[in-house]
Structures are given as C-alpha cells and as structure tokens.
Amino acid sequence: MVDTLDTTRTIAMAPSLMTMDLDQFKEQITFLNDKVNMYHIDVMDGHFVPNISLSPWFIGEVRKISNLPMDAHLMVTDAEFWVDQLIDIKCERINMPSEVINGKAFSLIGKIHAAGLKAGVVLNPETPISTIMPYIDQLDNVMIMTIDPGFAGQPFLESTLDKIVELRRLRDEHGYGYEIEMDGSTNLKHWKMISDAAPDTYVIGRSGLFGLTDNIEDSWNQMVGEYEQSTGYRFNTGR
C-alpha cells in the first residue's frame, strides 16, 4: 500500500483544541507542534450556540508552548466584540459567523486586515454561499461546517461537501484568494468523501484524533493510517 499512495496532494491540519484532553495539554501540544499547520480554537458565547468554550485567554496559554498560527472559530452573536479581543492578541486567522456580520462584514474584514491578520467566515450547514458573495473576494478563508455547530459529535451532513466543491470552482474561475477549511466529524468514516471534496484545511477533533487512543502519538499514527487507507493519498502536511 505504501508504494501505491498518491503523493501529489498537501493538506493543512488544524487540531481542534476544544476536543483535546486538557489533562494532557502540554504533552499533546508539544507532540503536535512539528506535525500540524495551526491550532483551531473554538470561541462560543453561550448565545449563538448553547455551549460555552475556549476564550482568547486560551490562545495565550497555547502560545507559551507553541509558535504555530491560531485559527479562531467564532460562534458568537457579537462578532465585533470578539474580533477586537482576538486582534489584541494577534490571533493569526479570525473566522467570523457569516450569519451575524451582515451590515458590517466589510468593516470587520478591513479591521482584521489592517491589523495584519487573516479574515475568514464560517458557513453553517444551512447557510448558502450566496450569503458571502458580496465580500467573498476580500476573504482569506471560508470555513464549511459539516455538522451543526456548538458541540462535538454531531451527525455528519454529507450535503455540505457540495459547498467545498463550489467554493473551489468559484476560486478557480474568479481567482479568489481564500483557502477552504472544513470542520466537523473528520474521521475514518468520512475521510474519503471529505478528501474527494478537497478542502485545503482539515479541522480534526476527538473522533478523528484525540479520542482514538489514550496516547497522542498512537492516536496520531492511527489517524495517519486511516487517512491513507481511506483516501489513497500519502498523508502530507508539508511539515
């Protein structure tokens, strides 16, 4: 199998730190630092989604033991409040909920860019791409949720993969500069169909990495094996 794997594809991996084992925080981050491309930080306010999760403060804790970029996923009703906090700590990529920024999307994107950071938006499963078309050319990242947001372990929604394919078509046709990220139930059951849709960045959580074994190295090796067996591609993050 090793000799027949396709080596033409490079993918970016962003472990979702909401799903890691916090009692192994330092051990897991230290192991992943030279293997992944960035860390995915979920910020929830208890209103946009019913859960409350990580905060900008947590990014500072991760930075004590990692120099990798931070990829913030805002699930909040007051996007500007949280964007300002993330700008203050220079979070490298800030992904805003498209459903709440209508009327101020250009100003928020401009504010993020003025700080030298990357601006992204998130499309939840029921939100169409048409929502972001007025400013799609300004974006550095578009994140597609393949599950309902707010909690890990939600059912995978295969139809959302069509948005990834459409975003790639639009990017190729118009020369847009955004990357395409997917988030939700990235695991053995779905590796093949996600790979066929071909996002640039994979958010990986408990079902695909942190929950596979009780040891991060064993879990990583299992994840790599499952990806390669399912997709036929050599696992390569460019690290």
The pLDDT assigned to 153 comes to 61
> Can you tell me whether residue 32 is helix, strand or coil?
helix
Tell me the residue ranges of DSSP E strands in 66-199: 70-75, 93-97, 118-123, 141-145, 179-183
- Write 170-177 long-range contacts (CB < 8 A, 24+): 170/129, 170/136, 174/137, 176/136, 176/137, 176/139, 177/137, 177/139, 177/140
DSSP class of residue 181?
E
pLDDT band at 199 (very low <50, low <70, confident <90, very high): very high
Residue range of the domain that includes 188: 2-231
Whole-angstrom distance, CA of residue 181 vs CA of residue 125? 13
**Amino acid present at 138:** Q
> Can you tell me whether residue 182 is helix, strand or coil?
strand
Structural domain contains residue 71:
yes
Q: Count other Cβ atoms within 10 Å, centred on residue 145.
A: 25
pLDDT band at 19 (very low <50, low <70, confident <90, very high): confident
Structural domain contains residue 236:
no
Residue 134 belongs to domain with CATH number: 3.20.20.70
The pLDDT assigned to 53 comes to 57
Structural domain contains residue 180:
yes
Burial label for 66, CB within 10 Å (0-12, 13-18, 19+), is: middle
The pLDDT assigned to 21 comes to 84
pLDDT, tens digit, 9 for 90 and up, residues 78-133: 999 999 999 999 999 999 999 999 999 999 999 999 999 999 999 999 999 999 99
Whole-angstrom distance, CA of residue 2 vs CA of residue 228? 9
| Token duo for residue 115 | 């700080």
Structural domain contains residue 238:
no
pLDDT, tens digit, 9 for 90 and up, residues 34-71: 999 999 999 975 444 444 455 788 898 899 999 999 99
Q: How many domains does the chain have?
A: 1
What positions carry a catalytic annotation? Answer: 42, 183
